[in-house]
Structure 1
Amino acid sequence: MPSKNTTRPQDDVLADFQALVSDTEKLLQHTANLAGDQADELRLQIQDSLKRARDTLRTTEQNLRERSQAAVQATEDYVQEHPWQSVGLAAGIGFLLGLLAARR
């Protein structure tokens, strides 16, 4: 059973990037009143950059989700195939973390 926190750091990065794209779109809408060839050219460049950023974001998000799902599945398969080794490994890690926590 996959953990809900499996891709938490990636989700934070993707959410921040999506917020950046959204803020840039709002800025583009607010500058629609500006006139002139340079303003039009700047808006076109921003729109192109936003489209590329959205495409990159979708691709990156899909790749991250696929990789994290593969890691979760590999872990689950290992635990199912080697339950006692997994219990021993977990106990050892717990013991080491307990030692580190006791040192403080």
Structure 2
Amino acid sequence: AQGVINLFQSSARVEVIGTRHAEKLSEALASREELSRARDMGDYFRIEADKRDLNYSVYVEQGDVEQAQYQDYDSHTVDRMDVSEVEQLLLTLPEVRDELVAAGIVAERMI
């Protein structure tokens, strides 16, 4: 919200009102089990299908050491963008740029 306020030179304020009923604070994006068979493609993960059979004795007797090196990929464990990074991302959107031009605002970062 602060990035939009800054770009549009608004006098609006962000007011934190706390967590709402049933609001999620963290969103699971990929489990460690999924990440153990995923390929990092740079901008996204390609997660292969789970091809395990139903023979769980291997996991009971030996375990899966590879999965132990991963942690869940969720909204609390990923890098978060700061306000400046959000502004830069917003400026890549043609709709935001068009609205800024329509409002007579020329951001130096648009040039």
User: What TM-score, normalized to structure 1?
Assistant: 0.32
Q: Which has the higher helix share?
A: 1
Specify the structure having the higher radius of gyration (Cα): 1
Which one has more relative contact order, counting CA pairs under 8 Å at least 6 apart? 1
Q: Which has the higher strand share?
A: 2
